[in-house]
Structure 1
């Protein structure tokens, strides 16, 4: 599935825009737009897709997406039950990258913001106290007009630039492919993996999706992601496993199979390689009771 180009519903002469969404569930599918986006989740939870990153999101999450970076916030299935009474609510700040082109962005005082905007091309998730501080500022200054709209955005970006608690989401390989001539081919492979990651996938099968021989596909994939196909698939499965671990609704032995690892010891080995933690330690980090583990 090719990402949908989203035309944001703002006046063409507005370089900074604020948008609050309050729905039973988020409705925008896998999409991209030229504007840089800052998103603060007020209510709701589910799965976050940013480039080739997959992970869970929760209330209070704050992320920044650079221009043209495909992304989607997909609510969990209970939000699609009309009787659930659940809501998906967020505050979004959109601004056009042209705002920071020319002399302004080259000022020495803008060095931090210049680096932040470059990092945002892979998506940034803020964590810890930095996340809380940024979310509070967004809520407090949301939708102000006049010159305050500009000064508040600069203050917000400086706050983000100085934060040392954050995670980069998409891989270098994915963001390079976004601007390449064969992005449609790569995206077909990516969407195939998103749909089938929890099933056994043969190399010949995914190579056929790309229209390549297995040998050519391995070379093609490694050039664009800097990872082997097996490494990439394991990372995708680990991303989903993290979400299930935090939810704490199933045993580790069960969820390892849910995300495509048929061998529990292999899942634990791959999880530790990716996170430097055992699955049970990861749960403990997020306050999940140990009885939820193996």
Structure 2
């Protein structure tokens, strides 16, 4: 299988802070795609539609708000949605506006973390969406710099909201460490991304960054909220997901090529992370083509 993912050339120009598109429709007809620009997508009244972000597949509820990072494949598909009045607002903006200099300011800490997490895609909970949706809908009525101030307010509010990241670590070779300034954590994750096919031990990583194993284990947990094994498995499953989508290799070939020495263990880890087997995951992407 080779699931086509197209590159979208958005109408955003260098003269725009952002572009906003407000639509009412009864179906989703745009293919799986990616673009350089960030995207905030609000969808109301489309329960049962299917969302794909990176290697994450899910059926959405009545209220949907997702923040998509640069060049992350994504798409929404009609699937089981029967609504005749889907409301959607899509906001696209350049990744140059919120550059490193801006995000590294003390007042931008929450924004920095949210933008880092957006590389994997972010979904916001229903209570956050209900609280912010009118502000987003009202943006289409605003013009000039006041509209940008309202847009910044929306991003600020969202950065303080709880949210869930979607795509796996490793799918785009982005790192859980990207939101931290820790040199050692970045060294650890850079090494794991480059060597995920090989055997990687906590002992070897500890030698790499000149730390004791127990100290490094606690350090990784503190900085990422995950254990060393969970971080490594997320990178490997992300890489495996990409191969499942992009190639016709067998599941066992993919498992071994991504550093798993035991196919049963690979299947267990994959199902734990994806809530489906690798075979079901491939079939889900194949089924999506019916809605393109």
Query: Per the shorter chain, which TM-score range?
Result: 0.5 to 0.7
- Structure 2: tracts of 5 or more residues without a match: 176-192, 195-237, 278-282, 285-292
Q: 1:232 aligns with which of 270, 279, 283?
A: 270
**Residue in 2 aligned with 1:167?**
164
**Residue in 2 aligned with 1:107?**
105
Q: 2:76 aligns with which of 69, 73, 77?
A: 73
Asked if structure 2 preserves the Cα contact closer than 8 Å seen for 1:47 and 1:74, the reply is: yes
Asked if structure 2 preserves the Cα contact closer than 8 Å seen for 1:221 and 1:228, the reply is: no
Asked if structure 2 preserves the Cα contact closer than 8 Å seen for 1:34 and 1:68, the reply is: yes
**Residue in 2 aligned with 1:2?**
4
**Residue in 2 aligned with 1:145?**
143
Q: How far apart in 2 are the matches of 1:175 and 1:229?
A: 21
Is 1:220 the counterpart of 2:217? The answer is no
In structure 2, relative to structure 1, the CA distance for the partners of 1:52 and 1:101 (3 Å cut) is same
Q: How far apart in 1 are the matches of 2:251 and 2:102?
A: 48
Asked if structure 2 preserves the Cα contact closer than 8 Å seen for 1:2 and 1:187, the reply is: no
| Post-superposition CA distance 1:201-237 (Å, at most 9, x none) | xxxxxxxx23x794x53232357xxx82453256545
Q: 2:41 aligns with which of 31, 39, 42?
A: 39
Count of aligned pairs: 212
- TM-score, normalized by length of structure 2? 0.63
Q: CA RMSD in A?
A: 3.3
Q: How far apart in 2 are the matches of 1:143 and 1:170?
A: 33
Q: How far apart in 2 are the matches of 1:6 and 1:37?
A: 12
| Post-superposition CA distance 1:150-204 (Å, at most 9, x none) | 211211111011112x2111111223189x99x9996452267xxxxxxxxxxxx
Instruction: Using the TM superposition, give the Cα deviation of residue 78 of structure 1 relative to its aligned residue in structure 2, in angstroms.
Output: 6.0
Q: How far apart in 2 are the matches of 1:124 and 1:177?
A: 14
Partner SS state of residue 256, structure 2: helix
Asked if structure 2 preserves the Cα contact closer than 8 Å seen for 1:2 and 1:184, the reply is: no
Partner SS state of residue 115, structure 2: helix
Asked if structure 2 preserves the Cα contact closer than 8 Å seen for 1:41 and 1:61, the reply is: yes
Q: How far apart in 2 are the matches of 1:213 and 1:145?
A: 51
In structure 2, relative to structure 1, the CA distance for the partners of 1:21 and 1:221 (3 Å cut) is farther
In structure 2, relative to structure 1, the CA distance for the partners of 1:114 and 1:78 (3 Å cut) is closer
In structure 2, relative to structure 1, the CA distance for the partners of 1:237 and 1:109 (3 Å cut) is closer
**Residue in 2 aligned with 1:189?**
244
- Structure 1: tracts of 5 or more residues without a match: 80-84, 193-208, 240-257, 260-294
